[in-house]
Structure 1
Amino acid sequence: MLGTMLGGFSAPVYAQATPFDTSASPVTESEATTTAASALPVIRAIDVEGSQRIEPDTVRSYIDLRPGSTYTRAQLDESLRDLFETELFRDVEIRIDPADNAHLTIVVQENPVINRILLEGNRRLEDDDIRQEIRLAPRQIFTRSRVRADVARIIELYRRRGRFAAIIEPQMVELDQNRVDIVFEISEGPASRVQAINVIGNEVFSDGQLRSEMATKQSRFFRFFSSSDTFDPDRLAFDQQRLRQFYLTEGYADFRVISAVAELTPDRRDFIITYLVEEGERYRFGDLELDSDLRDFDEAQFSNYIPMQTGDWYNAQQIEDTIDRLNETAGLLGYAFAEARPDFRINREDRTMAVTFRIEQAPRVYVERIDISGNTLTQDKVIRREFRLREGDAFNSFSLRRSQSRIQSLGFFQEDFEIDQTPGSAPDRIILTANVEESATGELQLSAGFSSLERFIINFSVRQRNFLGRGQELRAGINYSSYSNSIELGFTEPYLFDRNIAVGVDVFRRDFDSFNFIGNERNTTYQQVSTGFQIRAGVPLTEYWTLALRYGLNNEDVSLDQNTFFINGQCSPLLAGRFLCDAIGQRLISSVGYSLVYNTLDNSFRPSRGRRVILSQDFAGLFGDVTYLRSRIDADQYFNVGSGFIFSLSAEAGYVHSFENRGLAGVDDVRLTDRFFLGEPQIRGFDIRGVGPRVQRFSYQPGTNTLITDQQFVVDDAIGGRAYYLGRAELEIPLGAGARELGFRPSIFVDAGAVFGVTNPTLQTFPCIDSTGATVGQTPCTGDSVPGPIVIPLLDNAGNALFIAADGTLTTDPTDGMGNANTAANRTIAPFLERFVGDSPMPRVTIGAGVSWNSPFGPFRIDLAYALLSEEGDEEKLFSFNIGTQF
């Protein structure tokens, strides 16, 4: 296969000279005119040679020469140009028979047919993205001009992606039957970064201040996650507007950008951007007035609508805010088409800017019709019932925005959903149109992963949030990990019998394995199996307040491994701890509860502004084995701080009160499984259940009073608390378009919280023995005494003492039948020291950064958090990640 460069070669094109006799004697001008016409050759025949796909008659039709007509050298040259302009031929030659100048032969070499278009070297752009730009295609006629045009298109495509160093080399591979393959060899080069941004003419504000207002940033090593430092011509124009907007908000009404130049560095890799600006004078606000033709608009209250006063520095943003407030107020009064317009009067002598806001007369508007389009699955009523306006109602801009937020919060449609407003059949009529674009609402997830919290995870779930297009939710899920197993079924009807009453039911079985750590080894302590159901109902009280009611019945079974924690058929506090022995058993829990919800979030799935407050209480004890009152409050506030940054504040707290009085020393009335626990993932920077009250066991060096403090040998059991609080401040950081498409969402955060308020548990003690073996007290030992082991005789099911026979079997016979005593069967427990720590309301504070990613394997979250404040016994953890499930 022969490759030929397409960019630099040219075809040898020429015309055979006509054999005119130039050696004759000169003639006069009149004679030349007379004889020239008679001396011109007359074409007798025109033949075509070399054509394969194109008919000879077609070739002849492209020129003006015809048999029977005369021709000149200029006409031959014109015919050559006409043939080349068809772009059907790579080479053309017109030959004249030396013996017969009336016989012309057109010799052509046809341009080849394109067989394939190949792309090589492109990694940053997909083949499909490039093929959409180029015009060449298989089975077309190859021409150099088309190749050059496509090269220019590909280069422009790379420039739009910030790669100005891209080089495109077209190659032609010749095949048989006059066919060719066109290969575009692409050298993408590095992304063209912005090496420096210079501003000339600024005196009031520094270059750094102005650069901070621009979307384009200078290339720095820490911007590896961002594309803001790549050169983009559109962003250059946008930055000029940002500069002007900044100066206008600072009072410089005459500011202008004289020029903005982007220059490539000598190596053609990066850009240097230079702005030439003229700041002008700074202005203050002059007289501020309102001129309204709307009768319902109270001009006396105008000062309540404006954030500025006469004498303040001029601020264009405040002008826009005032216009928005005036328009919003007009919309609340029903004037949908009323529009406030500012009238500026500038006084350059005293440098003031007077503004009059004019609102012309407009009719009060009523909703003529509400149209819904684009919904192929979702029923109209599912959308209509979220409208806060009805046909015939007076228009209200607040109700319109609220309708838009409620429809978007359904999660059934595109994120940028808006309700269009168009004039109706009369000036006082308006048509509202919800143009929805349905998104997928069914979720089928089968994932496996590894989590620092749950180790190996398998998750399978099926969920349909818009079942049969009725807005109902149906879900089923199975989750397996070394930490917990569960199977759950649920159904929710948001509008029962088309009334604004939500009902739902959940059925579940959850197996939970609690554990403690000995060093880095995790050991299962108790198993908790919960089987039950819950019935839910929700009723809106106002637009933002909702009351949710629920009833649940749950059978709970808590057990311990008998081989590990039991002696003589009973749970041994020496092996398990009094708090674990007290927790085991089977209980029926019947509870009724409510939640009072206040919600103004703009989007329930990914909010950017608004507030949500939830007050919940659950009472257990209608019947069953447990009685308590659990109270919780949870509040979230979201702020859109601009430029894609979202700041959120979250706070929650809870308390559980038991109505039981078990009357046992060292035993809390609130059972272990009903308490609050805190740690990963609620408060990052600590391990799972790593915060709050806990019992630690330290072993002794054998035969000494010295404790083994190495964490690898310390048993650590979290026992929870009656009360807790948790707060969080988090800033979500925007990334470039590419990272957003991949689902990356980084953030920085501060977490603070504590769990506390449990009765001090009874701790285990061991006898202290002196050098003679006599007991002289209980641990902790003093003086020369050391802790000694505890020996517990083993009993059979009837309570009889067990002995070890000579053959190693257990027997209740103290002798072997021949007068020899059998050895008593005992369980010896080595001494240890128990310590109760962590029961403190003092806040634990962590600071860190994390990133969420909607990976192909499921939601992924990675956090790096450092504990600034902690208490004795807390389990800190710097790094954590979770994949394959959400918590």
Structure 2
Amino acid sequence: MLAGTICPSVAVAQTVGAPATPAPPPVTFVPAPQGDIITQVNVVGSQRIEPDTVRSYVKLRPGQLYTAEAGDQAIKDLFETELFADVTVRETAAGVVTIEVKENPVINRILFEGNKRLKEDKILKEIRLAPRQIFTRSKVRADVARIIELYRRQGRFAATVEPQMVMLDQNRVDIVYAISEGPKSKVRQINIIGNDKFSADRLRGEMATKQTRITSFFSSNTSYDPDRLAYDQQKLRQFYLTEGYADFRVVSAVAELTPDKEDFIITYVIEEGERYKFGEVKVESELRDFKPDFVKTLLPMKAGDWYNAKQVEDTVNSISETAGLLGYAFAQVEPNFNRDAETRTMELTFQVAETPRVYVERIDINGNTITQDKVIRREFRLQEGDAFNAFLVKRSKDRIQSLGYFQEKFEIEQKPGSGPDRVVLEANLEEKPTGELTLSAGFSSLERFIVNAGISQNNFRGRGQSVSASVNYSQFNKSVELGFTEPYLLDRNIALGGNIFRRDFNQFNFIGGNQRNTTYSQVSTGFQLRLGVPLTEFMQFQARYNFSIDDVSLAQDFFTGGRCDPFLAGRFLCDTIGKQTTSSIGYSIVYSTLDNGIRPTRGNRITWNQDFAGLGGSIRYLRSRLNADKYVNLGRGFVLNFGFEGGYIRSFNRTLRDENGNAIEPVRIIDRFFLGQPQFRGFEIRGIGPRVLRYQLDEQGEPIIGRRRELLADDSLGGRAYYLAKIEMPLPLGSGIQELGIRPSVFVDIGSVFGVKRPQVTSRETFRDPADGVIKAKCRNIATGQLTFPPAGGACPTGTTPLPAFDEQFLGDTWRPRVSAGFGVNWNSPFGPLRIDIAKALVTQPGDDPQLITFNVGTQF
């Protein structure tokens, strides 16, 4: 026994106002004279139970001889019914036997006190007693033992239950279970005896149960679980068999509860045995077109290798899957061993038994209460009547999981059909929320507080359709977008979708201190149509058409004489204003072998995109982009993701020049590439790449407000080319964290955006007075915008306004990489999915805007 038996006692409580009930008298038996013939059997004291019913429980009948033994047996029989609290049997007159009974009370209510970890509804389902039943002490004891067992399953071996009985009128009682739950019993120590080949720490690392340590705070595996004890023995055996120790066995496994009942000490005694190598490895196949020579090429082991039971198991599965590709759904592969203890070798023969080819008789789909049946069936790569193919079954599973409509760990079960050559495929699904309400917030030195809200439903009306709506709002950036996609148009494998949008972006300048004023406004209104068709099982072609009207306007305060004044707004902004239309057609080629499109663990995904603008409209360019991801399953929950993306845009517009004859960048700022969070963690929105910084100068040519970024005019220009590479890996830190919905990861991001023509900037030398060599404010003519130095008095004449001295710098236009590394956490919190990234910018270039922390939060429905 791991813990002592808890024996409950029944305490009697009295409710206020109820008459006191004396303790029941002891059971008595009044012996009758021997030899009397029973003439009558009377029942006294029964209330709910009919006297005839009481008489039916005993063997006393008129005409029988009454003896002391017969009376004693009658008492035993009545108590065995568990209907009575007290019974007396006596002969009150010659031949007259009287049975006096006191009935057990009826249960009015069952109450629980002190139960915080187990809810009442869960306990009530497990106990035997219920309201309106007859109270019995044996059932109370059984219920107490059952409740304690429930707590032991949770690892609370110190839990105690004290039953109490509250007497009521009309022979009724309330049963109260007073529960002391106690702490969760932990595993204080795991001892291993008999291990010579491997250290105890190495063996403990193979077990599911872990020792209680400070670092195991979030893990639930430190709690004692008897079922896990047996599982750990199997894990030890699997480990040694994998290492070649075929004779390994666990001699004993003992769990001892500490005297305070708070912790367990587990001790394993093991025998490792000798290590074996593979001997001759052979294959015997009874399948006509499944030749042994072909199967032998699939074997990973050869004679002389260390014996590995896991490798043998994997090989059996591999041979079975290969046979499944040929239509043998129930191929039986049996590994036969011939152990030689003297040479310590293990000869192995894989026996493939004869089995008929199998055809799909039926496909059953269960659990889809919202999703329509056809949405699931169209993802199956096999149809009813097709020859069975294990690869296509697995591919069907991956495609259904990639929909994102169902919970993980989904499998397509293969069950025998109506005949030996028939198989039934059964998909047991569990739907999950497919709607998502997202709310992301952030803080930017450029835009201050940013809020992005969106709502989407990826399985609209259970038909697999996608609808979405999003709103982005900040002081300088607002947008609204609506979208819809039909993945199977007219029940054909053709995807059709579109979206409409309106985006309002406001640029700004600093005018002193930390105050800003809007310089220009960019309003884009348009729509996109999309069409997608599959080329092969793993490749898809997508086409799209985009149309947008872009209106870039500048506040009138930055115009002089009806013309944009570069000294007020910046020369590159003056080159941007105007109203233009873009009409573009594009395509994408997507190649994907991912096992799961939502949360992949292995496979590749490559996407090539090109868009050509010039099908009408006033803008002409060719934009090309490449995205690639590779997922490598390292085992034990570690999945390494290598990602790369890059792009280039080439303009076909004619070269424009400003009033000074300088060439203007032909690619509009709204068509260029930008990098920063959330794509490039560790930097602000549009935080890297070419940019123009403006700051005010004093007479010595030094910045008046310093070089604090939040006090500078910071205009990101974007680039014509960019690249971004990332390496990311999740950290499986134990089932305790997984149960909380926490998925941490580490990552490294590397990238850059570059390639714009150098804009004309205003240098500090523009404000240096040649008369005295001092940098000073100039006077700007309100009508013409011409700049002149103030007269000797220092005040600007009428018709002009002072323009403080400033300096503009063009920075960040370089292909040299920026590098950041950090730690991110995805958490399915009670208020929705939450993503937090903490990233440190390790390599930066002049002008970059690093940002340490970003977060995103939302909810699902």
Question: 2:745 corresponds to which residue?
Answer: 747
Q: Is the 8 A contact 1:732 1:746 kept in 2?
A: yes
Matched to 1:245, the amino acid is: Q
Task: Indicate the larger mover: 607-616 or 746-755.
Answer: 746-755
1:793 to 781, 789, 797: 781
Does the alignment pair 1:831 with 2:805? yes
Q: Is the 8 A contact 1:14 1:93 kept in 2?
A: no
Does the alignment pair 1:48 with 2:44? yes
* C-alpha deviation, 1:282, in angstroms: 0.8
Does the alignment pair 1:196 with 2:189? yes
Matched to 2:174, the amino acid is: D
Question: 1:556 corresponds to which residue?
Answer: 550
Q: Is the 8 A contact 1:766 1:788 kept in 2?
A: no
Q: Is the 8 A contact 1:654 1:723 kept in 2?
A: yes
Q: Is the 8 A contact 1:14 1:92 kept in 2?
A: no
Q: Is the 8 A contact 2:728 2:746 kept in 1?
A: yes
Question: 2:221 corresponds to which residue?
Answer: 228
Q: Is the 8 A contact 1:292 1:299 kept in 2?
A: yes
Q: Distance in 1 between matches of 2:49 and 2:476?
A: 77
Question: Cα deviation per residue 1:113-142 (whole Å; 9 max; x = unaligned)?
Answer: 222222333333333222222222222222
Please give the residue correspondences for 1:390-405 in structure 2 after superposition, counting only pairs within 5 Å: 390-405=383-398
Q: Distance in 2 between matches of 1:440 and 1:15?
A: 62
CA pair 433-566 structure 1, distance change in 2 beyond 3 A = same
Matched to 1:794, the amino acid is: I
Task: Indicate the larger mover: 310-319 or 387-396.
Answer: 387-396
Q: Is the 8 A contact 1:448 1:456 kept in 2?
A: no
Question: 2:789 corresponds to which residue?
Answer: none
Question: 1:849 corresponds to which residue?
Answer: 823
Question: Cα deviation per residue 1:576-605 (whole Å; 9 max; x = unaligned)?
Answer: 322333233322111111111011112222
Matched to 2:9, the amino acid is: G
Q: Distance in 2 between matches of 1:758 and 1:789?
A: 31
Question: 1:719 corresponds to which residue?
Answer: 717
Does the alignment pair 1:688 with 2:685? yes
SS of equivalent residue, structure 1 residue 116 = strand
Please give the residue correspondences for 1:581-596 in structure 2 after superposition, counting only pairs within 5 Å: 581-596=574-589
Question: 1:812 corresponds to which residue?
Answer: none
Q: Distance in 2 between matches of 1:169 and 1:521?
A: 70
* C-alpha deviation, 1:289, in angstroms: 1.3
Question: Cα deviation per residue 1:309-360 (whole Å; 9 max; x = unaligned)?
Answer: 2111111122122222222222222222322221111111111111111212
Question: 1:811 corresponds to which residue?
Answer: none
CA pair 444-332 structure 1, distance change in 2 beyond 3 A = closer
CA pair 214-512 structure 1, distance change in 2 beyond 3 A = farther
SS of equivalent residue, structure 2 residue 82 = coil
Question: 2:676 corresponds to which residue?
Answer: 679
1:293 to 286, 293, 300: 286
Question: Cα deviation per residue 1:201-234 (whole Å; 9 max; x = unaligned)?
Answer: 1111111111121122222223333212222222
Q: Distance in 1 between matches of 2:190 and 2:515?
A: 55
1:79 to 71, 74, 81: 74
2:847 to 868, 873, 887: 873
Question: 2:729 corresponds to which residue?
Answer: 731
Q: Distance in 2 between matches of 1:7 and 1:572?
A: 94
Question: Cα deviation per residue 1:609-658 (whole Å; 9 max; x = unaligned)?
Answer: 22211111111122212222211111122234334443322221122222
CA pair 15-111 structure 1, distance change in 2 beyond 3 A = closer
* C-alpha deviation, 1:265, in angstroms: 2.2
CA pair 822-190 structure 1, distance change in 2 beyond 3 A = closer
Question: 2:536 corresponds to which residue?
Answer: 542
Question: 2:16 corresponds to which residue?
Answer: none
Q: Is the 8 A contact 1:838 1:872 kept in 2?
A: yes
CA pair 573-66 structure 1, distance change in 2 beyond 3 A = farther
Question: Cα deviation per residue 1:371-391 (whole Å; 9 max; x = unaligned)?
Answer: 556656655544443332344
SS of equivalent residue, structure 1 residue 633 = strand
Matched to 1:443, the amino acid is: G
Does the alignment pair 1:136 with 2:151? no
* C-alpha deviation, 1:273, in angstroms: 1.7
Q: Distance in 2 between matches of 1:328 and 1:682?
A: 40
Q: Distance in 2 between matches of 1:688 and 1:594?
A: 28
CA pair 265-515 structure 1, distance change in 2 beyond 3 A = farther
Please give the residue correspondences for 1:440-455 in structure 2 after superposition, counting only pairs within 5 Å: 443=435, 445=437, 450-452=441-443, 455=449
Q: Is the 8 A contact 1:666 1:762 kept in 2?
A: no
1:89 to 79, 84, 87: 84
Q: Distance in 2 between matches of 1:558 and 1:110?
A: 93
SS of equivalent residue, structure 1 residue 884 = strand
* C-alpha deviation, 1:156, in angstroms: 1.6
Does the alignment pair 1:863 with 2:837? yes
Matched to 1:229, the amino acid is: T
Q: Is the 8 A contact 2:642 2:727 kept in 1?
A: yes
Please give the residue correspondences for 1:256-267 in structure 2 after superposition, counting only pairs within 5 Å: 256-267=249-260
Question: Cα deviation per residue 1:679-711 (whole Å; 9 max; x = unaligned)?
Answer: 111122222222222222333346664652344
Q: Distance in 1 between matches of 2:234 and 2:519?
A: 64
Provide the aligned length of Structure 1 versus Structure 2: 828
Question: Cα deviation per residue 1:404-432 (whole Å; 9 max; x = unaligned)?
Answer: 222332334454443333445554x3234
SS of equivalent residue, structure 2 residue 616 = strand
CA pair 339-527 structure 1, distance change in 2 beyond 3 A = farther
Question: 1:459 corresponds to which residue?
Answer: 453
Does the alignment pair 1:610 with 2:584? no
CA pair 169-721 structure 1, distance change in 2 beyond 3 A = farther
SS of equivalent residue, structure 1 residue 324 = helix
Does the alignment pair 1:528 with 2:522? yes
Q: Is the 8 A contact 1:837 1:873 kept in 2?
A: yes
CA pair 515-258 structure 1, distance change in 2 beyond 3 A = farther
Task: Indicate the larger mover: 111-120 or 248-257.
Answer: 111-120
> Unaligned stretches of 5+ in structure 1?
21-35, 777-784, 802-820
Matched to 2:744, the amino acid is: P
Question: 2:26 corresponds to which residue?
Answer: 14
Q: Is the 8 A contact 1:441 1:465 kept in 2?
A: no
Q: TM-score normalised to the size of structure 2?
A: 0.87
SS of equivalent residue, structure 1 residue 864 = strand
How many percent identity over aligned positions?
A: 56
* C-alpha deviation, 1:481, in angstroms: 5.1
Task: Indicate the larger mover: 579-588 or 530-539.
Answer: 579-588
CA pair 265-459 structure 1, distance change in 2 beyond 3 A = same
Q: Distance in 1 between matches of 2:808 and 2:664?
A: 16
Q: Is the 8 A contact 1:441 1:464 kept in 2?
A: no
Q: Is the 8 A contact 1:614 1:633 kept in 2?
A: yes
> Unaligned stretches of 5+ in structure 2?
1-6, 13-22, 787-794
Q: Distance in 2 between matches of 1:362 and 1:105?
A: 76
1:317 to 296, 303, 310: 310
CA pair 550-200 structure 1, distance change in 2 beyond 3 A = same
Task: Indicate the larger mover: 714-723 or 246-255.
Answer: 714-723
Task: Indicate the larger mover: 8-17 or 638-647.
Answer: 8-17
CA pair 666-852 structure 1, distance change in 2 beyond 3 A = farther
SS of equivalent residue, structure 1 residue 787 = coil
Q: Distance in 2 between matches of 1:209 and 1:522?
A: 62
Task: Indicate the larger mover: 142-151 or 848-857.
Answer: 848-857
Q: Distance in 2 between matches of 1:600 and 1:631?
A: 23
Q: Distance in 1 between matches of 2:506 and 2:237?
A: 61
CA pair 109-549 structure 1, distance change in 2 beyond 3 A = same
Q: TM-score normalised to the size of structure 1?
A: 0.85
Question: Cα deviation per residue 1:217-263 (whole Å; 9 max; x = unaligned)?
Answer: 22222333321222222222222111111111111111111112222
Q: Distance in 2 between matches of 1:71 and 1:515?
A: 112
